[in-house]
Structure 1
Amino acid sequence: MVVTGHFVDSDWVLQKRVLNFCNVPPPHTGVIIADALSKYFIDWGIENKIFSITVDNASYNDACVRRLREDFSLRKRLSIAEKFFHVRCCAHILNLLVQDDLNQLVDVIDTVREGIKYLNNSEGRLNQFAKITKQLQLPSRKLILDCPTRWNITYLMLASALEFKDVFPRYEDIDPGFHYVPSDYEWLQVVEVCRFLGIFHEITNMISGSDYPTSNIFLVELYRIKDLLNEKALDISDQIRAMALSMSAKFDKYWGETNVVLSLGAIVDPRYKMVLIYHAFPIIYGEEEAAVKIDEIKQLLYELYNEYVDTHFSSHAGEPPRQSVKRKHKEVSSSSAQSQGNVKKLGLPILTGKKKFQMHVSEIDKAPLEKSDLDIYLEEGRYACDASANLDVLGWWKGERWRFPILSRMASDLLSIPVTTVASESTFSAGGRVIDDRRASMSVETVQMLLCGSNWIRNLHGIKTKSRDQSDVAE
């Protein structure tokens, strides 16, 4: 099991570190995994600093996070944050949306996959295929072989095969053993599906390709998915319409459990604020339900902010009290009262307590109401920048931390929440290269030191590893 920690350092830079690469003996129940995680939290001394836990959609993870939530609640570590303590991996949700629906193309996918395997088994076949490609003056791209359990690589395989659809039948003419040519109707199906899944692929690239795919980057793309599903649910193609309706049902199921963290993350992004919520929610929920959902999000936002306000002032409880000035005024008032008593004997006007209170109330009424950090932030305009620009959102909050001391701390916590388990999965894949047939006898401690040490050293020197998708495509 891989445990990856995400945090904002003192320079307001988002960091991630592999905390544990550990052996968890079976059975892999939610309780056993929760107990293992609790042990590692205590070992690292972060048991009281956990803000959220991001996991994939396996059923045992639901039980694990439920157990951890109960433990944290007993220690009064959770309140409003309980609403987004459990974060479901958005990459897995996308996979669930798409994977089952690709089964409608299972025949043509198998045909293309087996055809590519057949060609890859012989260098002579590949050379002949490339020769036909050159004769047709097609781009000299390579065929991609997919991984059946990863829909985005299957999409790439189909998209690349479309580039060679005229080559397949010509190669069949010169190789009697090649029986993997889709029909014209099947190619049309591939074209429709690739157009449909193109946006899903782009969002997956955005999540998997980002060093730190955090809560603020996903809502702005997620509503586009729902918009596309609504559009394709009315498509003239029965196949596309059926796929869209099935995917929309799954979208509604999983979105309900992730909307809070994604919405709050988007609000503390100065490019979006509440404007994105007002724009996206009617598309996701429909006009009638959107108003209720927007009110719920705003209420949670203010409740969370108020918790940070309470924490801020309780942490500054040791500072010199501001009431020392008031006590001084009180002493002056007492001496003034004695003077006024003497003045009364002289027959001069007397300032009674009632009149003094009335003057105090009048001054309060004249003074403008003090606004919170959150009120000021929301009322100000969005940070305007080009849609393709990559704004360093944490850097923006770093620059505004003196103006918004409390809200900036809340924003940094929300912006450190990862929306995928990509970081852990890439480390787990690296573990497969460390533990091979020739090094299978290494102790658990040695394996953990190798994986954790490698990760920390790479981060120390700014060395980035190639993503899993890049490796698959390259191979």
Structure 2
Amino acid sequence: MKQDVKKLLENVDRVSLTVDVWTAENGTGLLGINAHWVDDKWVYRKRVLAIREIVSKHDEENMAAIVLQALEEFCLRPKVYAGITDNATSNKRMLALMARKIKIVNPNFSARRHVPCVTHIVNIVVQAAIKSFGIPSAQVVEPDEGDVMRTTDHYDNDQDNELGDMFLASDDHDGALRPLSLGDAVAKVRKLVHGIRSPMQQREHYAKACEDDPEVEDSNMVILDCPTRWSSTYALLAVVVKKRDVIDEVSKAFGRKGMATKMLKDEWELVKEFYRILSHFVVSIDHVCKIVMPAICDTLYLIDGLKEHMEEVVQQIKDGKFFTSVRRLHETDRSNMAQACKAMH
């Protein structure tokens, strides 16, 4: 197969590379190298060149050595046109080092030919936005704690949590209002989902509640999000928003612990609106990832669409039209929310 790939690449004038590293818990890693090109019939082609283990430090020197060795095996050093990676500093340095080492045989390749991964950039933006909204990391939820936790560094830091307690709400219109936080609302959702997934009795109760609700089309188990993929938070919110009544029904069976995770009506509205914000990012990324022949124009379309979406959200917040279902949202609250959305913009 390797010889077939070499023969296929013999008449190719130039190729671009995508390079990525996966790191295991024990510190070892795998480095994957793909080649991409357009053939003489203007057909987009790609092949996996190598998947190599990184047994030493994951720095630019060791990674560059592995990539250069693979290029040498496939006679591609003079043909490299561009390199696509995520935005890790080690990747940028790796490509710069590669450019210096193959300068004699390939003077046109330079560090300026580094193309950052647009989906990774969007991931960074949304992760930063999730943090700015005061939403704790997915990995901090534990099933045996009594109250909703605030155990992440950024969530406990007052300077980083300006949006944490900016809403006021109560299920009782005449009752005392207490601070309402999007971070607390999402943490409650996670805790409820964790409780539903853990004991078999709760799982059965959940399945029965889904069957009894005519608006719920399935009884699939609710999922938990993970800290490494922001889209998993969107997937979590998508399910619980759809099954809000079921979640509320099952939470009543939690007993005394259920009081600590009971979702207020305004908290549900906050979760719903935040889900709406994230949905545009998910749809845009899915659109680009499903394109068989991705191009720069697709990336520009994605960025322009997200920019327009966030501008609209910011303006709606300024005009008081966003989060309108949440009671007593003050002007200062709208201003703070607008600042967080501007960061996403």
Q: TM (normalized to structure 2)?
A: 0.65
Which is bigger in relative contact order (C-alpha 8 A, separation at least 6)? 1
Task: Find the aligned partners of 2:128 and 2:271 in 1 and give their Cα distance.
Answer: 16
Q: Which residue of 2 aligns with 1:60?
A: 90
Question: 1:227 aligned to 283, 293, 308, which one?
Answer: 308
Q: Which residue of 1 aligns with 2:224?
A: 145
Task: Find the aligned partners of 2:123 and 2:199 in 1 and give their Cα distance.
Answer: 33
Task: Find the aligned partners of 1:212 and 1:147 in 2 and give their Cα distance.
Answer: 30
TM-superposition CA deviations, 1:218-238 (whole Å, max 9, x none) = 111211112223333332334
Please tell me whether residue 134 in structure 1 is matched to residue 203 in structure 2.
no
C-alpha contact (below 8 Å) 2:80/2:106 kept by paired residues: no
C-alpha contact (below 8 Å) 1:193/1:240 kept by paired residues: no
Q: Which residue of 2 aligns with 1:93?
A: 121
TM-superposition CA deviations, 1:25-60 (whole Å, max 9, x none) = 222211221222112111110111111101111111
C-alpha contact (below 8 Å) 2:32/2:51 kept by paired residues: yes
Question: 1:47 aligned to 61, 74, 77, which one?
Answer: 77
Task: Find the aligned partners of 1:246 and 1:240 in 2 and give their Cα distance.
Answer: 10
TM-superposition CA deviations, 1:273-312 (whole Å, max 9, x none) = xxxxxxxxxxxxxxxxxxxxxxxxxxxxxxxxxxxxxxxx
1:241 Cα deviation after fit: 1.1
Task: Find the aligned partners of 2:335 and 2:214 in 1 and give their Cα distance.
Answer: 35
Q: Which residue of 2 aligns with 1:23?
A: 53
Question: 1:167 aligned to 246, 259, 277, which one?
Answer: 246
Structure 1 residue runs of 5 or longer lacking an equivalent are 249-475
Equivalent position SS for 2:84? strand
TM-superposition CA deviations, 1:410-436 (whole Å, max 9, x none) = xxxxxxxxxxxxxxxxxxxxxxxxxxx
TM-superposition CA deviations, 1:160-218 (whole Å, max 9, x none) = 11112222232222331545333222222212211112110101212333445343321
Task: Find the aligned partners of 1:202 and 1:239 in 2 and give their Cα distance.
Answer: 26
Task: Find the aligned partners of 1:148 and 1:182 in 2 and give their Cα distance.
Answer: 22
Give the partner amino acid of 2:99: R
Equivalent position SS for 2:57? coil
Structure 2 residue runs of 5 or longer lacking an equivalent are 1-30, 137-183, 319-333
Question: Taking structure 1 as reference, are residues 91 and 198 closer, same or farther at Cα in structure 2, changes over 3 Å only?
Answer: same
Q: TM (normalized to structure 1)?
A: 0.48
C-alpha contact (below 8 Å) 2:185/2:267 kept by paired residues: yes
Task: Find the aligned partners of 1:14 and 1:199 in 2 and give their Cα distance.
Answer: 28
C-alpha contact (below 8 Å) 1:111/1:182 kept by paired residues: yes
C-alpha contact (below 8 Å) 2:224/2:236 kept by paired residues: yes
Q: Which residue of 1 aligns with 2:234?
A: 155
TM-superposition CA deviations, 1:224-269 (whole Å, max 9, x none) = 1122233333323345412222223xxxxxxxxxxxxxxxxxxxxx
What does 1:36-435 correspond to in 2, within 5 Å? 36-78=66-108, 82=110, 85-103=113-131, 104=133, 105-106=135-136, 107-141=184-218, 142=220, 143-176=222-255, 177-178=257-258, 179-234=260-315, 235-236=317-318, 237-238=334-335, 240-248=337-345
Give the partner amino acid of 1:192: E
Task: Find the aligned partners of 1:138 and 1:239 in 2 and give their Cα distance.
Answer: 36
Task: Find the aligned partners of 1:144 and 1:228 in 2 and give their Cα distance.
Answer: 27
Task: Find the aligned partners of 2:236 and 2:58 in 1 and give their Cα distance.
Answer: 34
Task: Find the aligned partners of 2:92 and 2:81 in 1 and give their Cα distance.
Answer: 17
C-alpha contact (below 8 Å) 2:99/2:111 kept by paired residues: no
Comparing 153-162 with 112-121, which one deviates more in the overlay? Answer: 112-121
C-alpha contact (below 8 Å) 1:3/1:20 kept by paired residues: yes
Task: Find the aligned partners of 1:73 and 1:47 in 2 and give their Cα distance.
Answer: 9
Equivalent position SS for 1:218? helix
C-alpha contact (below 8 Å) 1:33/1:64 kept by paired residues: yes
C-alpha contact (below 8 Å) 2:202/2:250 kept by paired residues: no
> Larger strand proportion, structure 1 or 2?
2
Give the partner amino acid of 1:208: C
Question: Taking structure 1 as reference, are residues 59 and 144 closer, same or farther at Cα in structure 2, changes over 3 Å only?
Answer: same
Equivalent position SS for 1:48? helix
Equivalent position SS for 1:15? strand
Task: Find the aligned partners of 2:77 and 2:194 in 1 and give their Cα distance.
Answer: 49
Question: Taking structure 1 as reference, are residues 239 and 111 closer, same or farther at Cα in structure 2, changes over 3 Å only?
Answer: farther
1:84 Cα deviation after fit: 5.4
Give the partner amino acid of 2:208: K
C-alpha contact (below 8 Å) 2:190/2:224 kept by paired residues: yes
C-alpha contact (below 8 Å) 2:234/2:275 kept by paired residues: yes
1:10 Cα deviation after fit: 4.4
Question: Taking structure 1 as reference, are residues 57 and 145 closer, same or farther at Cα in structure 2, changes over 3 Å only?
Answer: same
Task: Find the aligned partners of 2:195 and 2:36 in 1 and give their Cα distance.
Answer: 44
Task: Find the aligned partners of 1:92 and 1:189 in 2 and give their Cα distance.
Answer: 26
Task: Find the aligned partners of 1:22 and 1:83 in 2 and give their Cα distance.
Answer: 23
1:2 Cα deviation after fit: 0.5
Give the partner amino acid of 1:41: L
C-alpha contact (below 8 Å) 2:83/2:114 kept by paired residues: yes
C-alpha contact (below 8 Å) 1:232/1:240 kept by paired residues: no
1:155 Cα deviation after fit: 0.6
